[in-house]
Structure 1
Amino acid sequence: MTESTAAGRNWAGNIAFSAPRIAHPASIDELAELVRTATHVRAVGSRHTFTALADSAELMVSTEALPAVVTVDANARTASVSAGMRYAELARALEAQGWALGAMASLPHITVAGAIATGTHGSGDAAGSLASAVTALDVVRADGSLVTLRRGDDDFPGAVVALGALGVVTRVELEVEPRYDMTQIVDRGLPWHSALADLDAVMGSADSVSLFTTWTDVERVDQVWRKTRGTVAPGLLPGAALASQPGHPLDGEPAENCTDQTGAPGPWHERLPHFRAEFTPSNGEELQSEYFVPRDRAVDALEAMRALARDGQNGARLAALLYVSEIRSIRADELWLSGAYGRDTIGIHFTWRRDEPAVRALLPHIEAALAPFDARPHWGKVFTLDAPTLASRYPRFADFGALRERWDPRGVFRNAQLAAWGL
C-alpha cells in the first residue's frame, strides 16, 4: 500500500482536494482496515468529476491499486470486474474473451466504479446508463465489512448510483454480450426544424446517436455522430450532409484523438466511445455540466435552449463560455439517484471553458430554462441547484437519505459536497 499527504486535484484542475491523506491499498484487507479505522473516508477514481464529490475531511482511498480482474460467466452473461479498472482496460479484456458491453461513455478513461456511482451514461434509445448494467456489487462498509448486493435485493436500487455515500465499491458484476462490430459516421448541418419535428426518428436512426451544437447556429445542428451495430452504416439524415473527412466534436481539434468515423466496421470498443483510449482529451482545460429531461418533453426543452441562445445577453455569455453541447438519449431505469430514474431521458450536456465563476453565473439561467421539464443534474458535473430542488427532482431522494443513514449512521462516507446537496 502507498500513502501520501498530497491529495492533488481533480481531472479539470478546478478542485484542489483538501483531504490530508490519500491511500492506495493493494488488497481488500488493507482497504477494509483503512476504512474501519478512519473517521471520514471518500473513494476516488479517475478524478473525472467536476465537483468536490470525492473530497474528504480525513482520508481519500483509491481502488486502482487493487488487483485488476475480469472474469466472465458465459452462462449468466455477466462479467465480474474490479471496480477501480478503467473502461478502456475492461473493454480490451472483454474483447479478448469474445465479449462486449452494450454501452460505453464517450470517454473510456474513467473508472468503472466512479462512472456507475454518478449515473454516467453513453447514448442509445435501448441503452441505459452504465449503472443499469450492474447485476451485483461488493461494498466495504464503514465497519470494514465486505458485503455483496445483488439485483433483486431490497437495497440494490439505492446502492448502485450511490455517490460513494454507502461505502467503497470494490467489485461489480456487469451484464455482457457476445462481441460485435460497429460503424460510425458523422452527419453535418442537420436542420433543427427537421430534428425537432421527429426527434424520435433522429435519435432512433442508429444504435447510438449524439447531436453536437454550439447553440450559435440555432437553425442547424453542427454534427450528428451515429454508431450502428453491424458492418453497414445508416443512411443520411434528411437535410444533412455526410462529413467529408474525420473530425472532432470541437471543430479544429485533431481527429486522431477520436474513434473512426469513416463508416468502416470496427470492434465495438473502438466505436462506442467518442475518444480513443490512447489519448486523454481536454485534461485540465474544461468544465462540464449536464441535465436530464424526460424524453417526452425533450423537444420543448431543446426549444427552450434555442430560445436562451437567441437571448442577447445570455446568448452572448453562452457563446463565450461554451466549447460544445451534446444531446443523447438514455433508456429509463429504476436506480434511485439515476438521472434516468423512472423515465426515458434525453441528456443535454455542456462542455465549458474553464472559467468557473462565469459558468456558475450562467448556469442558473440554463437551469431556469429547463426547470419546467424537471431537469435533473448529473452528480459528477457542475450545477447550482439547491438541496430542496434536488429533492423535488429525484422521486426517491428521501428514500436514499434513509438508506444512507441506515448504512452509515456515523457519516463516515459523508462529506461537505453531499451535505450541501442534502444527502
Structure 2
Amino acid sequence: MRTNWAGNVTFTAAEVVTPATAEDLRALVRGSSAVHVVGSGHSFSPIADTTGTLVSLAGLPEVFEVSGSTARVSAGMTLAALAVHLENAGLALHTLPSLPHITVAGAIATATHGSGSHSLSGAVRSMEVLRADGSTVELTSPGAVVSLGGLGVVTAVTLDVVPSFQVEQTVYEDVAWTTLLVQLEQIFAGAYSVSAFVDWQGGATLFAKHRVGDPRAAFPGRPASAPVHPVPGQPALHCTVQGGVPGPWHERLPHFRAEFTPSVGEELQTEYFVPRTRAVTALRALAEMSTVISPLVQTCEIRTVSDEDAWLSPAYDRDSLAIHFTWVPNTPAVLALLPRLEEAIAPRPHWGKLFTVPPALLAARYPQWDAFRALLTEHDPKGVFRNEFLTRYFGSSASS
C-alpha cells in the first residue's frame, strides 16, 4: 500500500510490512525508530503516514472471543468480518459506519461514528497496545481510545456488544430544506439511525433505518419508489437493501454492502462536528455558501452523534451534529474552500478527513488536549509512533 484509498495521500514510508505473527510484529516494533499502523487506507488526511515503517495488521492471526456482553477482537479485522462473527454468535455492535470495509482499530483511533447516534469508540472497554519497547499494556482510559495511532500498536480491542437485532431501511425523498431545519430534532429522533443527504440546492433525502419492534415515527417527504444511492445519479446496486425490507443489523445499518467496494470513483471527504445547540445556525451558515459548495460537492450527509467520553472524539462531552462532505477529486479547490467553512461554523473535524483548522484553534476546542499530549509522552517517550501529522498538532516527543 503506497497510497490511501482515494489516492490523494502518497505514503512516505521507507517500507510497508505486513507481519504474520505477533512475535514478528513485536520484533519489528522493537527494531524500528519510526512506526505507524495503517488500516484499510480509508483516511483522507495523512494521519497514518510515517517516514519509517508502515505496518498493516491484516496478516496477523484472527482473534474473536465472546465473554458475556463483550467481545475481544483483532484490531486489524474489518468491521464487515467482525459483523459476521457477531451475527453468528447472535450478537451485534450498537452501530456501524457507512462503510463496513474499514478496520476496527482504524475506526476507533479516528473516532469514526456510525449509524444511530453513537461512535464506535464509545463501545471500547479496553485495548491491548504494543509499545515501542516491546511491552504490551491494557489501556482503559477514555484518553487512550481515540489515539490517532500515537500510543503504540493496538493489537486487540474489547468491545461492548448487544443481542442481534433486525433493521428495515426506508428512503424519503423531496424533503424541503426549510422542513429539515424546522423539524431537525424530530427527524433525527424518528428512527434508530437517520441520515439527511443534501446537495445545498434546496432539498434533502432522508435515509431512515428503523429497528424492528421500535415505535415508528412519521417522516416528511415521500417514500422512494426504487433504491436510492447517497450520491445523486449513481446506481444503487452497491447500497444496502431499502424499501422497508427487514434484515440483520449489519446488512442495513451501513449505506453500502460489504461485498462491494463503495466508490463512485476518486473522491475527497471532510466531516465537521458542531454542538447540537448550534446545529441549525451552522447549517444556515453553510447554506449561505451554497454557490461555492455545490460545484465541488458530490453529496453531503448530516447525522447526529451523542456525547462521549473519549478525549479526542469530536463528540467529546457534547451532543453533536456531524456534517460530512464527499467532494469531487479537486484537492487544490477543496483545500482552498475549507478555511471558509471552518471559519463559519468553528467545528471539530473528523481526524481521518481533510481539514485545515490550525493547531492552536483545534487545541482550544478540546478540553483534554494537554492531557492527551501528556499521554503521548507517557506511552511513547521516544516518539517512535509520532509522525508529521501528530507532531503538527501535539509537538515532537521530549526524547526525539
TM over 0.5: yes
Q: 2:332 aligns with which of 343, 354, 357?
A: 357
Deviation digits for residues 24-83 of structure 1 (CA, Å, limit 9, x no counterpart): 111221111111110000001100000111111110111111111211112xx0011100
Shift of 1:356: 0.6
Q: How does 1:6-405 map to 2 (within 5 A)?
A: 7-74=1-68, 77-124=69-116, 127-150=117-140, 156-217=141-202, 220-221=203-204, 223-230=205-212, 234-238=216-220, 240-282=221-263, 285-309=266-290, 315=291, 317-371=292-346, 375-405=347-377
- What is the percentage of aligned positions where both structures have the same residue? 50
- Code of the aligned partner of 2:384: V
Gaps in structure 1 of 5+ consecutive residues: 1-6, 151-155, 310-314
Could you list the structure 1 runs, at least 4 aligned residues long, displaced by more than 6 angstroms after superposition: none
Q: Secondary structure at the match of 2:46?
A: coil
Q: Partner residue of 1:312?
A: none
In structure 2, how many angstroms separate the alpha carbons of the residues matched to 1:242 and 1:391? 43
Q: C-alpha deviations, 1:101-138, integer Å up to 9, x for none?
A: 100000000000000000001132xx321100000110
1:225, distance to aligned residue in structure 2 (A): 0.2
Comparing 7-16 with 37-46, greater Cα deviation is found at 7-16
Aligned-residue offset at 1:265: 0.5
Calculate the TM-score normalised by the size of structure 2.
Answer: 0.96
Q: CA deviation at 1:422?
A: 3.0
Which SS does the other structure have where 2:294 is aligned? helix
Matched position secondary structure for 1:22: strand
Q: Give the secondary structure class of the aligned counterpart of 2:295.
A: helix
SS at match of 2:289: helix
> 1:421, CA displacement in angstroms?
2.2
Does structure 2 conserve the Cα–Cα contact (< 8 Å) formed by 1:232 and 1:265?
A: no
- 1:234, distance to aligned residue in structure 2 (A): 3.7
Kindly state the Cα deviation for residue 407 of structure 1 after the two structures are TM-superposed. 1.1
Contact residue 105 and residue 122 of structure 1 kept, 8 A: yes
Q: 1-side partners of 2:11 and 2:278: how far apart?
A: 38
- Counterpart CA distance in 1 for 2:179 and 2:44 is 34
| Paired residue type of 1:71 | E
Cα–Cα, structure 1 residues 232 and 389, in superposed 2: closer, same or farther, change >3 Å? closer
- Contact 1:187 1:236 (C-alpha < 8 Å) held by counterparts: no
Q: Which amino acid aligns with 2:39?
A: G
SS in 2 for 1:164: coil
The count of corresponding residues between Structure 1 and Structure 2 is 395
What is the CA–CA distance in structure 1 between the aligned matches of 2:26 and 2:337, rounded to whole Å? 42
Question: What is the distance in 1 between the residues matched to 2:217 and 2:175?
Answer: 13
Question: Aligned equivalents of 2:44 and 2:24: distance in 1?
Answer: 28
For 2:215 and 2:247, the matched residues in 1 are separated by 12
Give the Cα separation in 2 of the matches to 1:284 and 1:72: 38
